Structure 1
Amino acid sequence: MVRAVLSFSKVLTLAFISAVVLLPLASVRAETRVPQSQAEISLGFAPLVKQAAPAVVNIYAKVVRQTQQRSPFMNDPFFDDFFRDFTNPRPRVESSLGSGVILSADGIVVSNYHVVGMATEIRVVTTDKREYDAQVVLADQASDLAILQLDGAADLPFLALRDSDKVEVGELALAIGNPFGVGQTVSSGIVSGLARSGTASGEGFGYYIQTDAPINPGNSGGALIDVNGDLIGINTRILSRSGGSNGIGFAIPANLVREFVKQAHDGAEAFQRPWAGMTGQPVDADLAGSLGMNLPEGMVISELHPKSPFAKAGFEVGDVITEVDGEVVNSPSEMVFRMSVAGLDGISEVTRLRGDRRETLKVEMYAAPNDPPGESLVMNENSALPGFTVGLINPVAIVRLQLPLSASGVAVLDPGPFAGRAGVKAGDILLAINGSLVAAPQDVPRLLEEAGRRVRFDLNRRGQRVSLHMRR
């Protein structure tokens, strides 16, 4: 009986050692090695947790929202103005709970935008019960990331950022956070997928590390670490029909976090990502056949703005982009991620496939240019339509208003109170006023004056022609 138990123990030990031997080298700071004794095996992840957990914090955020009572005359064109003052907005305080990761000894913390991005009050609590007020120094809803600065912090434990492009499927991973507000919790699993896009809910661009380490509500903003205690991602979302963890969680890669920290350190007020000035689609089997490719790979350019940095570098519609800075690109979301990581004012090496010729070109990374100059024109209080703001469509306006790359002419930047009530929205392309074409922002004041009391706006709204009428 004793011999059988010993044999079973040896089998377990050999199995564990085999698993560890297969682990990749995860950090330049430490080398993965085979456990040297039964005592090391029995410790499990305890030393790793003791090292990393103090750098993961709990975040308590409050958001004050203005809510307005609904008037029974809200949509009545006559009574609405009379009863407007009787439905004053009332403040409502909403609380949220999440996690964050300390990245520097002086209190730089990263979390999710959906945890702290709109917060009016943020309180951060460390594992040793120290509490700090915090301020958001850089946040981006599209990436679902936010950088915080803790007030008066010093000598804090922090995690190092690993190169997330070196992470491999099958690596062991730990998720650390505060699920359901029960206190700091650690869950283990593996990296089960890379470059996941379009699978997690939320505001992110959809480029994630996938893990089966359980992630639950409250884990958002917490750490996903490797076997050396380095940060490989920020836990952000789960894929679940019930709201609980089903073993499919997603983390924002550490390389994007690194760029956020850099821009926050440089004093950026908003996260800046290079402008691609293109649209594209993944190359599937059918598309690969029509392009004469042996295997589907990359992203084919379907539209290219003439001022795009890719157009400037020599790319054309129909070219297939396969790599950016040596990393594989297979979808628009991967393209956005690679350019975001590259940052502004640099040069990236982009590999394209044109026919059977593969070559690498250098592409400048810059923000959407304000070319031609797109100064806005605001109608003043004494004008025909106070607050109505328009501007010339250029690359900056295309990005800001999320317009098609082919958009041109004059766009509505702010409808103001009166045109907004008539249904005009920011981002509408202004085609005509009372049948007279709008060619430049300077045409708008004159056409509104000539329109009299009845105004008809002819608009292009997301490719649909819309006509709206209002009476002044």
Structure 2
Amino acid sequence: MLKRFAIILIALSAPAGAQQMQVPQDSAQIQMGFVPVVKAVAPAVVNIYARRVIEGRASPFADDPFFGQLFRNFGAQRPRVENSLGSGVILGPDGIVVSNYHVVGQATDIRVVLNDRREFDATVLLSDEESDLAILQLEGGADLPALDLRASDSVEVGELVLAVGNPFGVGQTVSSGIVSGLARSGTATGNARGYFIQTDAPINPGNSGGALVDTSGRLIGINTSILSRSGGSNGIGFAIPATLVGQFVEQARAGETAFQRPWAGVTGQPVSYDMAEGLGFGRAGGIILSDMHPASPFGAAGLAPGDVILAVDGQEVNGPAEMIYRMSVAGLGAEVAMQVVQNGEMREVIVPMVRAPDMPPRATLVTGSRAAVPGVTLSTINPAVMAEYDLPLTAAGALVEDPGEIGARAGLRAGDIIMGVNGAAVTDSASAEAALEAAERGLALDVQRGQRRLSMRFRL
């Protein structure tokens, strides 16, 4: 009776439509547990050793003609080498590997060790700090074991999962748990933002970049972080869905070096319970659009501020991170169907997935010697620049990409937006350069830095 109960329990845990999931048929199979799955998955999970050189901090007096000699060695730090340890997953027999950005990002030397102890050098093909993903290419890799990706929308809460990785550098280990939540957004640590699969499978330091697989050995996510009060593995783990990973692999194979997200050109906020009552909805849910760029593909599809997006490609969305995730997995060039409420009526609109337009041209330039602040790299703000630097849709003027030596000493920073020079409005990089060259006795800069407006004044 006990054996029969165990078999029924395991069968109930299988999601609808998961035909490849096998139910144990006898006591021998039950005793084997996850052994067949681990044997199939382990060869495709690798250990990653990355090294990066961190430049030392220069002396604050280095550029001063007098104090530079007096305090020549004050505060100087030598470059140091920083090592990181993590995991990765082979996704192609030709040596395509996925890992976390925080494991291999900005690394100068990457070494990958397979489960059978073979070692390969690796290079980063594509990386993205925001998603915390990186795609590597093993040098000389061929006929390697690889995992298949499983569509993330087919994953259900309650499924049994295994987390495979290399915690603490002690060698490959496996931990088990269940999928405890879906559509988790904004809960991962570090710089990662977006949409995650939540699991209670223990994820220790070094498991980052490792595999989260189902009981059929298919990859459902890449382990990225854990939320723990104690700092140990007894917390909530988060994995990046395999469907998004598939888009990264596709773009890396196409030659992209940075992940290209479809551009929305809108801002919005989740519909709260109070807002839902005012809109006449039965419950909270969806995203109400609050602002829209004139070049937004949403506007071209007929949407406007005040409209509510309920679903993207048939999947409900309850926040901007979920909507961007749905757009990202659809990929550039696709067309997605969005269920919206417009003027109180439900309708469906088709929105094309496009890159942020680089128009008007960013016209990047470096201010010359005649400018009040020479050596500053400026670009005209357009949708592509907005997306690249995460600027608000209302941003306008000239973006400081590099302040240069003199600009940095004057207080400018990369990412600043020059909106005005000596009272004259700046509309692009050319007008900013012309105004800087026209300045004679004094210089007044109107600068936007994040959420702050600054007024910077200098004597020339």
Q: TM-score range by the shorter chain?
A: over 0.9
SS in 2 for 1:224: strand
Task: Find the counterpart in structure 2 of residue 46 from structure 1.
Answer: 35
1:329 to 317, 320, 335: 317
CA distance in 2, matches of 1:46, 1:368: 47
Q: CA deviation at 1:463?
A: 4.1
Q: Distance in 2 between matches of 1:223 and 1:391?
A: 41
* CA distance in 2: counterparts of 1:440 and 1:356, whole angstroms: 40
Amino acid at match of 1:53: A
Contact 2:381–2:428 (CA<8 Å) still a contact in 1?
A: no
- Give, in whole Å, the separation in 1 of the partners of 2:420 and 2:58: 36
Superposed, 1:51-450 pairs within 5 Å as 51-68=40-57, 70-71=59-60, 73=61, 79=66, 86=73, 90-381=78-369, 383-450=371-438
> What secondary structure sits across from 1:267 in the alignment?
coil
User: SS where residue 55 of structure 2 aligns?
Assistant: strand
Percent identical residues: 55
Bigger shift: 449-458 or 130-139? 449-458
For the residues of structure 2 that align with 1:35 and 1:450, how far apart are their CA atoms?
81
Please say if residues 26 and 228 of structure 1, whose CA atoms lie closer than 8 Å, have aligned partners that are also in contact: no
TM-score (norm 2): 0.94
Structure 2 counterpart of 1:35: 24
Q: CA separation of 1:350/1:125 partners in 2, compared to 1, >3 Å: closer, same or farther? A: same
- Residues 68 and 352 of structure 1, relative CA distance in 2, 3 Å threshold: same
Looking at structure 1, the residues matched to 454 and 370 of structure 2 have their Cα atoms a distance apart, in angstroms, of 28
Task: Give the conservation status (yes or no) of the 8 Å contact 2:90–2:146.
Answer: yes
Instruction: Kindly provide the amino acid, as one letter, of the partner of residue 115 in structure 2.
Output: T
Q: Per-residue displacement from partner, 1:142-188 (whole Å, max 9, x unpaired)?
A: 11000011111111111100001100000000000011111100000
Pick closer, same or farther for the CA change 1:361–1:469 going to 2, 3 Å. Answer: same
CA distance in 1, matches of 2:459, 2:207: 52
1:50–1:428 distance in 2 versus 1, CA, 3 Å: same
* Change over 3 Å in CA distance of 1:188–1:324 after alignment to 2: same
- What is the distance in 1 between the residues matched to 2:194 and 2:349? 26
For each residue in 1:262-294, what CA deviation from the matched residue of structure 2 results, as whole angstroms up to 9, or x when unmatched? 001111121101001011111110111122211
List alignment gaps of at least 5 residues for structure 1: 1-9
CA contact (8 A) 1:101 1:109 kept: yes
Q: Compared with structure 1, are the counterparts of its residues 24 and 360 closer, same or farther at alpha carbon in structure 2 (3 Å cutoff)?
A: farther
Is 1:15 the counterpart of 2:5? The answer is yes
* CA-CA distance at 1:436 after TM superposition: 3.4
Instruction: Provide Cα deviations, 1:18-56, integer angstroms capped at 9, x if missing partner.
Output: 22221335887x533432111011111111111111110
Q: For 2:176, give the aligned amino acid.
A: S
Determine the C-alpha separation between the residues in 1 that align with 2:150 and 2:270.
Answer: 28
Q: CA deviation at 1:202?
A: 1.4
Q: Structure 1 counterpart of 2:313, which letter? A: D
Q: Is the 8 A contact 2:372 2:443 kept in 1?
A: no
Contact 1:169 1:191 in 2 (8 A): yes
Deviates more, 1:387-396 or 1:320-329: 387-396
CA deviations over 1:389-429 (Å, ceiling 9, x no partner): 22322111211222211122333332222122221123323
What is the CA–CA distance in structure 1 between the aligned matches of 2:409 and 2:70, rounded to whole Å?
A: 16
Letter in 2 for 1:100: G
Structure 1, 165-174 or 14-23: larger mean CA deviation: 14-23
Bigger shift: residues 394-403 or 43-52 = 394-403
Structure 1 contact 113–145 (Cα < 8 Å) conserved = yes
Name the CA shift for 1:446/1:263 in 2 (closer, same or farther; >3 Å): closer
1:113 CA displacement:
0.3
User: Residue 59 of structure 2 contacts residue 73 of structure 2 at CA under 8 Å; is this kept in 1?
Assistant: no
How far off is 1:471 after superposition?
4.8
Give the equivalent residue in structure 2 for 1:7.
none
State how far apart, in whole Å, the 2-side matches of 1:143 and 1:120 are: 21
Residue 382 of structure 1: CA displacement? 5.7
SS of corresponding position for 1:183: coil
Describe the shift of the 1:180–1:450 C-alpha distance in structure 2 as closer, same or farther (beyond 3 A): same
| Distance (whole Å) between structure 1 residues aligned to residue 377 and residue 258 of structure 2 | 23
- Deviation of 1:204 after TM superposition, in Å, equals 1.4
**What CA distance in whole angstroms lies between the structure 1 residues aligned with 2:353 and 2:362?**
21
Tell me the CA shift for residue 203 of structure 1. 1.4
Q: Contact conserved, 1:422 with 1:469, CA < 8 A, in 2?
A: no
Between the aligned partners of 1:83 and 1:134, the Cα distance in structure 2 is: 45
SS at match of 1:468: strand
Change (3 A) 1:159 1:192: same
